[in-house]
C-alpha cells in the first residue's frame, strides 16, 4: 500500500435523501390492503381448512432446504485458507472505510484492532489502509483517529476525510459517499461500523475468500457483551440465524445479501455499479441488489470472518433501528427489484429466490388481517397456522444455526440451552410482525423527509475467539 497519508474535506453539494415517489406510496398501500384482505379472507370457512396445510408446507419448504444448503457453501473456511496460501501473489489489499459521527470513544478501540492486524507484506508493512469519514462530528472524532493511528503504528496508512456542510444527507450510506471507490487504493473495500471490533486474523481470513474467487463477501456479525441480558443475547442469536439464512441462500444460488457491518467488495465491482448512494436508507441491501442486477454477483457469507459490534440496549432504540431496516428493505425492493427480476446476469433460481425473500415482507400484514378476522368471526385456525408457519421457520433455522455457537470455553451448547435460545430468538423475531406494517405505513403516508436516527455506543464488551466452527 502507498505510505502517504492524506486527508480531505467534503463540502456542501451532495443531494439530501429524496422524498418517497408516488409509485412507491401506491405500492406500499397496495401491499397493506392486499395483505390485510388475504389474511382476513383466509379465516373464511372455505379456506380455513386449507390454510394450515399450505402454511406448514411453505414453512418446511423454506426452512429445510436452507438448513441443508448452509452445510455446503461454495467456499468453505478451509477452501479460503488454502486458496490464500496457494496464491502466487501476496493477496488482495484492503481499504477499510468507516463512517463516523461523534464516535471518538469507540474509534480508538477499532483503530487499535486495525493496527494489530497480522495481514502484512513480506516487509511487515500493512496490506491495508484506513479511511475514516468524519461526518460533521463535534466530539473530536477526527483527531482521536489520528492520535490512535500514531499510537498503533498505522498513521502512514490512515486518512481522515472531513464531511462538512449544512444540507448534507444523514445516514451511513451518505457518509460512505465521501469515500467513493476512486478515493480508495485497496483491491477490496471493507466497510466497518465505528463500534466494530476485530481479532488479529480478520483481514487474513477475509483475503482467503477473495483469493478463492469471491468478489463480494460479508463477515459474520457477532454481538459484544451478549451475556449482559435477554435483549443482548437475542440479538446475538438473531445474527446467527440471519447468517444461516443467507449462507443457505448463497449455497442454493440465491441472491444472498451484505449486512452493514463487515461489507467487503472488490473496488472495481463497487465502482462499476456507481459506488455508494447517499439516498440509500440501508446501504447494505441496496448495494447487494445493485450488484446482483448489474453484474449477477452474489454475496459470499464467511462463517469464520467475524466482526463484533455492540448490541442495541433498549427497546426504543431497537424499534427505531429495525424500522429503518424494514423501510430500507422495502425501498430497495421498489427501486431495484424490477431490475433484479429482469436481469439477464442472474439465473432463474436467483431471481425466484429474490422474489420469495422480499415476498415474506407481506406476511406480517397477512397476520394483521387474520388477527382482525379472528377477532370479528371468532375463527382462529388460520391465524394460528399462519403464525405457526412464520415463527416455525425462525425456530427451525434458529435451532440449526445455533450449532455454530460455542460457550466461552469452546464447548458446544447443551440441548436444553440450545432449545431455550431457539425459543428466545423465535419470540424475538415476532418483533417484525409489528415493525414491517409500521414501515409500510410510513412509506405510504408519511410526509416530510426521512429522519435517520443514530445509535449510541457505550464501548462495552470485548471480542472472544470462538475456538473454531462447525460445518
Within a domain: residue 350?
no
Among 320, 347, 365, residue at a domain's last position: 320
Residue 50 is part of which domain span?
Answer: 22-70+355-445
Same domain, 167 and 274: yes
Look at residue 9 in the predicted model and tell me its pLDDT.
57
Instruction: Answer whether residue 466 is part of any domain.
Output: no
Q: Is residue 341 part of a domain?
A: no
Same domain for 313 and 368: no
**Any idea what the CATH number is for the domain that residue 208 is in?**
3.90.550.10
- Domain identity same for 128 and 253: yes
Pair (63, 130) in one structural domain: no
Q: Would you say residue 458 lies in a domain?
A: no
Walk along the chain (471 residues) and give the pLDDT tens digit of each residue: 644 454 565 544 444 445 789 999 999 999 999 999 999 988 887 776 677 677 777 777 888 999 999 999 999 999 999 999 998 788 999 999 999 999 999 999 999 999 999 999 989 999 999 999 999 999 999 999 999 999 999 999 999 999 998 888 888 999 999 999 999 999 999 999 999 999 999 999 999 999 999 999 999 999 999 989 999 999 999 999 999 999 999 999 999 999 999 999 999 999 999 999 999 999 999 999 999 999 999 999 999 999 999 999 999 999 999 999 999 999 999 999 999 999 999 999 999 999 999 988 999 999 999 999 999 999 898 899 999 989 999 999 999 999 999 887 888 999 999 999 999 999 999 999 999 999 999 999 998 777 777 778 877 778 876 544 445
329: nearest Cα among 365, 298, 354: 354
362 and 433 in a single domain? The answer is: yes
Q: Among 295, 320, 345, identify where a domain stops.
A: 320
Same-domain pairing of 435 and 291: no
Report how many domains make up the chain: 2
In a shared domain, residues 310 and 210? yes
Q: C-alpha grid cell for residue 185?
A: 487504493
Q: Is residue 343 part of a domain?
A: no
- What pLDDT does residue 12 have? 43
User: What number of CA atoms fall less than 13 Å from residue 429's CA on the CB side?
Assistant: 27
Q: Same structural domain for residues 245 and 387?
A: no
Q: Are residues 162 and 282 in the same domain?
A: yes
pLDDT at residue 465, rounded to an integer: 61
Residue 338 within a domain: no
Same domain? For 251 and 135 the reply is: yes
Last residue of a domain, one of 320, 344, 374: 320
pLDDT for the residue numbered 2: 47
CB of 205 closer than 8 Å to CB of 81: yes
pLDDT given at position 239:
96
Is there a single domain that holds both residue 149 and residue 254? Answer: yes
Partnered with residue 126 across adjacent β-strands are 120
Residue 151's contacts (CB-CB under 8 Å, 6 or more residues apart) are 112, 115
Cα 37 off chain centre by? 31
Is there a domain that residue 229 lies in?
yes
pLDDT of residue 459: 79
Whether 326 is covered by a domain: the verdict is no
- Are 164 and 252 part of one and the same domain? yes
188, 95 in Cβ contact below 8 A?
Answer: yes
Amino acid at each position: 500500500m502507498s505510505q502517504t497519508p492524506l486527508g480531505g474535506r467534503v463540502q456542501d453539494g451532495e443531494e439530501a435523501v429524496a422524498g418517497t415517489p408516488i409509485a412507491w406510496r401506491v405500492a406500499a398501500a397496495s401491499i397493506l390492503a392486499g395483505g390485510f384482505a388475504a389474511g382476513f379472507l383466509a379465516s373464511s370457512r372455505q379456506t380455513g381448512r386449507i390454510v394450515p396445510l399450505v402454511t406448514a408446507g411453505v414453512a418446511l419448504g423454506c426452512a429445510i432446504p436452507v438448513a441443508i444448503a448452509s452445510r455446503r457453501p461454495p467456499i468453505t473456511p478451509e477452501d479460503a485458507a488454502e486458496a490464500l496460501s496457494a496464491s502466487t501473489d501476496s493477496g488482495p489489499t484492503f481499504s477499510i472505510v468507516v463512517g463516523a459521527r461523534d464516535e471518538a470513544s469507540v474509534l480508538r478501540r477499532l483503530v487499535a484492532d486495525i493496527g494489530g492486524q497480522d495481514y502484512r507484506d513480506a516487509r511487515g508493512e500493512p496490506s491495508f489502509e484506513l479511511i475514516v469519514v468524519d461526518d460533521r462530528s463535534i466530539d473530536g472524532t477526527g483527531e482521536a483517529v489520528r492520535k490512535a493511528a500514531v499510537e498503533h503504528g498505522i498513521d502512514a496508512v490512515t486518512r481522515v476525510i472531513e464531511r462538512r456542510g449544512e444540507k448534507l444527507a444523514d445516514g451511513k450510506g451518505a457518509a460512505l459517499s465521501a469515500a467513493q471507490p476512486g478515493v480508495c487504493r485497496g483491491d477490496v473495500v471493507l466497510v466497518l461500523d465505528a463500534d466494530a471490533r476485530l481479532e488479529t486474523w480478520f483481514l487474513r481470513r477475509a483475503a482467503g475468500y477473495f483469493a478463492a474467487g469471491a468478489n463480494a463477501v460479508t463477515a459474520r456479525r457477532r454481538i459484544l457483551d451478549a451475556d449482559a441480558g435477554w435483549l443482548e443475547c437475542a440479538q446475538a442469536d438473531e445474527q446467527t440465524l440471519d447468517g444461516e439464512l443467507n449462507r443457505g441462500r448463497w449455497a442454493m444460488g440465491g441472491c444472498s445479501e451484505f449486512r452493514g457491518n463487515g461489507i467487503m467488495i472488490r473496488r472495481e465491482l463497487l465502482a462499476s455499479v456507481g459506488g455508494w448512494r447517499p439516498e440509500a436508507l440501508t446501504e447494505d441491501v441496496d448495494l447487494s441488489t445493485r450488484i446482483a442486477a448489474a453484474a449477477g454477483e452474489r454475496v459470499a457469507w464467511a462463517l469464520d470472518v467475524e466482526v463484533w459490534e455492540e448490541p442495541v440496549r433498549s427497546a426504543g432504540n431497537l424499534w427505531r433501528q429495525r424500522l429503518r431496516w424494514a423501510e430500507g428493505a422495502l425501498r430497495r425492493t421498489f427501486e431495484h427489484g424490477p431490475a433484479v427480476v429482469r436481469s439477464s446476469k442472474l439465473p432463474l433460481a436467483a431471481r425466484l429466490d429474490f422474489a420469495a425473500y422480499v415476498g415474506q415482507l407481506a406476511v406480517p400484514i397477512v397476520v394483521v388481517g387474520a388477527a382482525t378476522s379472528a377477532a370479528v368471526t371468532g375463527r382462529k385456525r388460520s391465524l394460528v397456522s399462519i403464525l405457526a408457519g412464520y415463527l416455525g421457520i425462525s425456530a427451525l433455522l434458529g435451532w440449526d444455526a445455533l450449532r455454530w455457537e460455542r460457550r466461552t470455553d469452546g464447548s458446544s451448547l447443551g440441548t436444553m440451552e440450545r432449545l431455550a435460545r431457539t425459543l428466545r430468538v423465535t419470540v424475538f423475531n415476532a418483533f417484525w410482525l409489528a415493525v414491517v406494517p409500521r414501515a409500510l405505513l410510513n412509506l405510504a403516508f408519511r410526509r416530510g423527509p426521512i429522519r435517520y436516527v443514530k445509535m449510541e455506543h457505550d464501548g462495552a464488551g470485548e471480542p472472544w475467539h470462538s475456538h473454531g466452527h462447525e460445518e
